[in-house]
Amino acid sequence: MKDTKPDLQIPSLTRRGFVMAAAGTSLMAMVPPGVRSAAWAAGSDAPEKKEVRIGFIPLTDCASVVMAAEMGFDKKYGIKIIPTKEASWASVRDKLVNGELDAAHVLYGLIYGVQMGVGGPKKDMNVLMNLNNNGQAITLAKKLQDLGVTDGASLKKMLTSKPGEYTFAQTFPTGTHAMWLYYWLAAHDINPMKDVKVITVPPPQMVANMRVGNMDGYCVGEPWNNRAIIDKIGFTAATTQDIWVDHPEKVLGTSAEWTAKNPNTARAMTAAILEAGRWIDASIANRRKTAETIAQKSYVNTDMDVILERMLGRYSNGLGKSWDDANAMKFYNDGAANYPYLSDGMWFMTQHKRWGLLKDEPDYLAVAKKVNRTDIYKEAAGLVGAGVPKSDMRSHKLIDGVVWDGKDPKKYAAAFKVKV
């Protein structure tokens, strides 16, 4: 992996770039938090459901959901969060659709896939908030290192000089890990639909599958990239923050039907998890306590140190390079990590169109406005005292130098040289 980072445009990370939401949110923000939450939870805005089952997959970025329950942030907003461990993203999808789960720590692109009827049942869905930015990676097998591969450029060279069937894994066909893997490969002139074989593997099973030689590489969330390095079976070829600094990752997702029936519960749930994310990001000590908590068998079920290293931004790539990454996983970042930008949702649809998952051109902005409940988020942010951005859109330059700003998604989706 190159030592130099590409020239990336990132939004301001300070509160100066944020303003409080208008109308009701700003009024709520004027009331002291303790008084506000107590009065709200007891009044006409009381949550419709007192207990909420929130599904999660064993990954580091389930942390704010878990800590909202473990630290009692949920009680402050009149609810009890019951974290529910799931085996695969397909299971999360099905249980969200059929109502077994109230909400979930879930892949951004999975929610949009269900909304558009791609890769499973079609149902109107909602994104209530981002849970985190950054913190995923692309891991390649040690056997590729023996063939001279250390990064994307050398992978392209190897695939050209030693043709054959090479297998790469992602965690769900429409999900974030699939999109990061495809984008990274394509940025190095490797077509993921033609030049390699792609399979789907649940996150906790990635390391075991690489160990027995079922894949040459994978994209997944932590701690399963760092675990491969510690177990000496793989190395980090790229982090996802190398692909897109402060990219959207997991979201708090639910069905639109559930939100319509439980708007106050949706707001309470969002507020509790937003506050948990703020607590996690507040100190190294809090991150350590978080790592200790989620490492338990009932959550991620791995060694605490495997989780903590990359939570603190202490990276090593398994090839002898170590660095402190300023763009490691962020759970709050002064509220910048959590806003459900419409442009983020639109981006996933552009990639679904690019790779042939969407056959027809959607009305990108209209779908994003329907899915991303910025109204509920702003109300929750007002309860917590978190800032919100001035715009529902944001601009970034990704690893290939292409700028995404949401202004012309149809043109953007069609302009890539490497696509289906």
Fold for domain 17-132+249-312+330-392? Answer: D-Maltodextrin-Binding Protein; domain 2 (3.40.190)
Number of CB atoms found within 10 A of residue 239's CB: 24
CB 294 within 8 A of CB 329: no
Is this model's pTM higher than 0.85 or not?
yes
Parallel, antiparallel, or unpaired: how do β-strands 250-255 and 125-130 relate? antiparallel
**Domain ranges in the chain?**
17-132+249-312+330-392
Q: Residue 42: is its pLDDT beyond 90?
A: no
How many CA atoms are closer than 13 Å to the CA of 254, on its beta-carbon side? 26
Q: Residue 64: is its pLDDT beyond 70?
A: yes
User: What are the start-end ranges of the H helices in 240-363?
Assistant: 240-243, 256-261, 263-281, 284-294, 304-311, 342-354
The pair of structure tokens assigned to 48 is 């419709």
Q: Residue 118: is its pLDDT beyond 90?
A: yes
The pair of structure tokens assigned to 155 is 């992978």
The whole-number average pLDDT for the span 400-407 is: 98
Question: Rounded to 5 degrees, what are φ and ψ at 82?
Answer: -110, 100
The pair of structure tokens assigned to 117 is 């009827």
Position 2 confidence tier, pLDDT thresholds 50, 70, 90: very low
Q: Residue 111: is its pLDDT beyond 50?
A: yes
Number of CB atoms found within 10 A of residue 365's CB: 17
Position 43 confidence tier, pLDDT thresholds 50, 70, 90: low
How far is the C-alpha of 390 from the C-alpha of 16, rounded, in Å?
A: 10
For the segment 251-305, what is each residue's pLDDT rounded down to a tens digit?
A: 999 999 999 999 999 999 999 999 999 999 999 999 999 999 999 999 999 999 9
Name residues whose C-beta falls within 8 Å of residue 34's C-beta, 6 or more positions apart in sequence.
none
- Cβ-in-10-Å burial (0-12, 13-18, 19+) of 200 comes to middle
Average pLDDT, rounded, for the chain? 91
The whole-number pLDDT of residue 26 equals: 37
Among 272, 349, 300, 357, smallest CA distance to 41 is for 272
How far is the C-alpha of 38 from the C-alpha of 310, rounded, in Å?
A: 37
The pair of structure tokens assigned to 326 is 């300023």
CB 48 within 8 A of CB 264: yes
Parallel, antiparallel, or unpaired: how do β-strands 125-130 and 167-170 relate? unpaired
For the segment 329-353, what is each residue's pLDDT rounded down to a tens digit?
A: 999 999 999 999 999 999 999 999 9
Among 406, 407, 405, 410, smallest CA distance to 361 is for 410
Position 1 confidence tier, pLDDT thresholds 50, 70, 90: very low
Q: Show the beta-strand stretches assigned E in 86-131.
A: 103-107, 125-130
The whole-number pLDDT of residue 39 equals: 41
- Taking phi over 0 as left and psi of -120 to 50 as alpha, with beta for the rest, 318 belongs to left
Position 119 confidence tier, pLDDT thresholds 50, 70, 90: confident
Name residues whose C-beta falls within 8 Å of residue 51's C-beta, 6 or more positions apart in sequence.
79, 80, 82
Residue with tokens 């949702």: 345
